[in-house]
Structure 1
Amino acid sequence: MKFKVDDYVQVKNPNRKRIYGKVARIIEVDKLDHQKPYKLLIEGNTYWFEENELIWFVDSTLTSEELNNFTLSETIHKPKHYIGINGLEVETINQNFLPKIKDGYVSHRIGSALEYILRHPDKNGLEDIKKGTSKFRTNHPLLGEW
């Protein structure tokens, strides 16, 4: 069995429309039922799942209340590594500044560089700094190669 009691998992089966993307704690594992051995409590209801319907969920910064309200769309549309300490999103910065750049390709590359650089403390550290500066340096016609 891949999961155990008290593991936090996320429902990844889109056919379970009402609870797709929800995060919950496994409250029981039925080792005799090989079809749907995992029991989760979601929004006051219990559900049984197959292993392939669930994925690991690890985010130690969320409280239990936040975990109960968490959905898959938040990980896709608002990843924490793109949000600053006061809630400003990298996308907002890009939307406000990049339209000023007339060359679309250059605008895209600068936006990509900003995303790498601004997310670096929460994602890949120095690797993101290197990627961001590389994208900026090699693709900005005003600067050429530094």
Structure 2
Amino acid sequence: MSDNVHNPKHYQGRNGLEAIDVHRNFMNDEQLTGYHLGNLIKYVLRYRRKNGIEDLEKAKVHMDWLIEKEKAMMLQLEALVGGTNDQ
């Protein structure tokens, strides 16, 4: 059975490579953040008219990515700030 949210068959090539893997390979962090933010907005705005809950689940995948990215950035910042005050 195909998972249209986390592992959609229509985004896989012949060898199982997914489109998102190509994005991750060729985009820098800023571009990838824009990709996820754009898709999040798209799925939230259309969910009632197109795929309902499935689109909200897709939006959640992008939101989760953005949250993890922000957490990682905050941890890096805290490490930098905390590291300069330790003497």
TM-score higher than 0.5 here?
no
Query: Whose relative contact order is higher, 1 or 2, with alpha carbons under 8 Å and at least 6 apart?
Result: 2
Higher Rg? 1
Q: Please report the TM-score for the alignment, with normalisation by the length of structure 1.
A: 0.27
Return the structure number with greater helix share: 2
TM-score by length of 2: 0.43
